[in-house]
């Protein structure tokens, strides 16, 4: 089986599994307890924060551990909410966990702006400038699109923010960027940055939110005051330590070069057929492909015994349509689209074979149509 839905989730590193088992079964103590073994665990959580801060390229700030990207995004957005006539800005290309939270702000009576995408899949920077002002409280923007791989220029956005809305916080959903493309939050100018462990070979159910300044954020979960008071609840120590292990064993630059090579080999297998259209917008980890004349879901089902691909965000498969692709390509291409996403531990033989399987299945389905 060749797995090409890595934007949905990734297989855990075996070393991360061992680390998880260690802290779930042997070093299982509650870090909030007062005895010696628990205090040691609390100290190890502090070391894990330092590893994440270093990987994020943070000069200052905190890491707040969460249950994953959805909670981190909600904490960033809802935690930034303030009473009064503040305005909130999002791109029209956000993950459901951001888009739904933005719509919740709208329902509560806040002024919310949704900035459309350009044809390159990035936010329309000119239109972004038109909605920013001194009342802007938060700008929330995905770093790498989970649908198309388009990379937003966060540094450009932070520069626009500094000029037009200096009081605004900049939140970045970095789920498809962290440990995949080189960056530093310091260079980007981000105030808040979301990561999720299962997107880079860590466990599901754990993630983090980078917070540059805790004073700009309020808690949305109430309880014992863990995580500097911003996220109450006993920390998922086993998940956090497995996430730390994964981060420490990823060479982002080397992996990026490997995936670029894998993507090229994969697309070479699909060349020569004008009915196959590829959206290539930035990150080599994600490609949106349209197999014209065949429904994307039909193709996905046809190959799933040999190759696993996706039809878009796994968090929105229960909803019809694709609000992100609708801004970029015609409707007939959307219905025939699939998402292919790589990891750096695949081989060239894997992706070449996957391309062959997809092309063969596509031809067979067209004949039946």
User: Residue ranges of the domains in the chain?
Assistant: 2-9+251-368, 14-248
| Residue found by looking up tokens 């994969």 in the block | 266
CATH annotation of 2-9+251-368: 3.90.1150.10
Cα-atom radius of gyration of the chain, to the nearest Å? 21
- Catalytic annotation present for 315: yes
Residue 144 tokens, joined: 């790498």
Residue 368: what pLDDT? 80
pLDDT tens per residue, range 22-74 = 999 999 999 999 999 999 999 999 999 999 999 999 999 999 999 999 999 99
Which residue in 25, 179, 315, 360 is the catalytic one?
Answer: 315
Residue 195: what pLDDT? 98
Separation CA 358–CA 273 (nearest Å): 12
For residue 369, is pLDDT > 90? Answer: no
In sequence order, the 6+-apart residues with CB closer than 8 A to the CB of 117 are 91, 92, 93, 123, 124, 150, 324, 327, 328
Question: What element of type H or E holds 85?
Answer: none
In sequence order, the 6+-apart residues with CB closer than 8 A to the CB of 151 are 122, 143, 144, 145, 177, 181, 281, 282, 283
pLDDT tens per residue, range 256-300 = 999 999 999 999 999 988 899 998 889 999 999 999 999 999 999
Residue 319: what pLDDT? 47
Residue 315 tokens, joined: 């968090």
Q: Are 308 and 4 in contact (CB under 8 A)?
A: yes
Q: What is the mean pLDDT of the chain?
A: 95
DSSP β-ladder status, 87-91 and 111-115: parallel
Q: What are phi and psi of 282, to 5 degrees?
A: 165, -85
HSE (side-chain half, CA atoms, 13 Å) at 176: 27
For residue 212, is pLDDT > 90? Answer: yes
Residue 101: what pLDDT? 97
User: Same CATH topology for 2-9+251-368 and 14-248?
Assistant: no
Residue 313: what pLDDT? 54
Residue with the bigger pLDDT between 367 and 177: it is 177
Q: Give Dmax over CA atoms of the chain in angstroms.
A: 69
Pick among 3.20.20.370, 3.30.420.40, 3.40.50.1100, 3.40.640.10: CATH of 14-248: 3.40.640.10
């Amino acid at each position: 089986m060749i797995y090409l839905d890595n934007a949905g989730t990734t297989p855990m590193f075996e070393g991360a599994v061992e680390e998880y088992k260690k802290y779930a079964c042997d070093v299982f103590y509650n870090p909030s307890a007062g005895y010696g073994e628990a205090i040691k665990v609390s100290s190890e959580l502090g070391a894990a924060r330092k590893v994440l801060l270093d990987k994020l390229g943070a000069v200052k700030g905190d890491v707040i551990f969460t249950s994953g990207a959805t909670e981190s995004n909600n904490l960033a957005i809802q935690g930034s909410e303030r009473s009064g006539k503040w305005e909130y800005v999002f791109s029209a290309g956000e993950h459901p966990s951001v888009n739904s939270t933005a719509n919740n702000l709208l329902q509560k009576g806040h002024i919310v702006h949704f900035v459309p995408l350009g044809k390159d899949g990035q936010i329309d920077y000119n239109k972004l400038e038109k909605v920013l002002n001194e009342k802007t409280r938060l700008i929330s923007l995905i770093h790498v699109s989970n649908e198309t791989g388009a990379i937003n220029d966060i540094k450009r956005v932070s520069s626009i923010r500094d000029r037009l809305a200096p009081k605004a916080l900049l939140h970045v959903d970095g789920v498809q960027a962290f440990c995949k493309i080189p960056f530093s939050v310091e260079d980007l100018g981000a105030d808040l940055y979301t990561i999720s462990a299962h997107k880079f070979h860590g466990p599901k159910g754990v993630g983090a939110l980078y917070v540059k300044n805790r004073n700009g954020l309020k808690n949305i979960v109430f309880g014992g005051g863990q995580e500097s008071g911003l996220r109450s609840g006993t920390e998922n120590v086993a998940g956090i330590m497995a996430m730390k292990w994964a981060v420490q064993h990823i060479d982002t630059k080397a992996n990026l070069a490997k995936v670029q090579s894998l993507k090229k080999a994969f697309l070479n297998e699909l060349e020569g057929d004008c009915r196959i259209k590829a959206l290539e917008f930035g990150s080599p980890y994600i490609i949106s492909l349209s197999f014209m004349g065949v429904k994307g879901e039909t193709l996905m089902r046809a190959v799933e015994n040999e190759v696993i691909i996706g039809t878009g965000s796994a968090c929105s498969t229960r909803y019809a349509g694709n609000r992100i692709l609708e801004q970029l390509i015609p409707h007939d291409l959307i219905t025939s689209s699939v998402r292919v996403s790589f990891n750096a531990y695949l081989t060239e033989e894997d992706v070449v074979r996957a391309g062959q399987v997809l092309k063969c299945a596509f031809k067979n389905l067209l004949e039946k149509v």
